[in-house]
Homo-oligomer: A and B are copies of this chain.
Amino acid sequence: MAGGSRSTRVTITQIAREAGVSTSTVSKVLNGHGDVAEDTRTLVESVMRRNGYHRRPSRQRGTLVDVVLNELDSDWSLEIVRGADEVLHSAGMDMVLSVVHGRSEETRQWLDRLAARRSAGVVLVVSELSDRQRERLAAMGVPLVLVDPVGGTTEDIPTVGATNWSGGMSGTSHLIELGHRRIAHIGGPAELNCAQARADGFGTAMQRAGLTVPQEYVNHGEFNERSGYAQAQALLDLPEPPTAVFAASDLQALGAYEAMRERGLRAPDDLSVVGFDDLPLARRVSPPLTTVRQPILEMSTLATRTLLRLMDGETLENPRVELATRLVVRDSTRRVTGD
């Protein structure tokens, strides 16, 4: 679809004629008006698709760029917003910030509002659009960049992520090098690519070291503290608990801290703990958390810069980028004793 023949553009009139509707109906579909029958909307959209209809790219269509987050619940989201703000404001653009709470209904409403007010482009963070929604953006000529993409690789939409798999490898290898053998993984949502890549990195590091991982040593849940707490409780209840855990997020690692505290246990003496993210609080908690650093701010600035380039009609040589993660060793991990 991308880079299609912009020189021989079809017009709204042609779309209208082919769909057998008025130009004002086509215009309503493009602008997200609610008063178009569902059948008509589907028909018009399919005609636009068939003809490769795209609105002209969009610098001239105002100074608003949409940044869409799933949640606004931690320093992770704060860094994303900061990065986008830096780039947009130096470009003289404004950021429209939306939070969709992982609900498709809220995503739909956001997209309706976007269509009504125009947007020059979208940075979508850890969220998903249906194929239909992506096509709607494309038909409106609104370019899209994904940060930390949730789903499978999505055709030719540019993405910026972190090297989650390598990060999972290095966090786990660190524990193996400290002599740990019974290592568990506190995982994120299995349906998210980033979480699954971290879990796979963990698995590969264990396998390469010739270590077997009991099935009950690998679990999945949300990235939050409560899920980390619950998963750690289950691990500590096992007849043979692990001596170390690699958590898929810092917040989950803090949940593990909490589960240990309740039992009078403490990292790293009773359990070595590695997190993922390196949120600002990772160095402030007690003990300061060993973790795999994600360059969140850089991911966000790169994604936003990429969007500006798309808005200028540039072609990207590298539409899918992963920025390096890096192990940060602090005080929550230590050499295994006994075992």
Contact = CB atoms under 8 A, between A and B. Distances in A.
Interface stretch (A49-57, A76-84, A149-157, A179-187): A76-84
Contact of A113 (B63, B116, B280): B63
Contacts of A99: 82, 85, 89
A23 interface: no
Interface of A: 62-64, 72-75, 77-78, 81-82, 85, 89, 92, 94-99, 106, 109-110, 113, 116-117, 254, 280-281, 284-286
Nearest to A74: B78
- For the complex of A and B, list the 9 residue pairs with the smallest distance between their C-beta atoms, beginning with the closest: A286-B286, A97-B97, A72-B82, A94-B96, A78-B78, A85-B99, A281-B281, A95-B97, A284-B285
A314 to B, nearest CB: 23
Given A85-B99, A284-B281, A94 B117 contact: yes
Nearest to A67: B97
A63 B109 CA distance: 12
Contacts of A77: 78
A40 B122 CA distance: 38
B98 A254 contact: no
A81 B64 contact: no
A128 B24 CA distance: 44
Contacts of A109: 89, 92
A116 B78 contact: no
A204 B254 CA distance: 39
A73 B297 CA distance: 12
B94 A98 contact: yes
Nearest to A66: B94
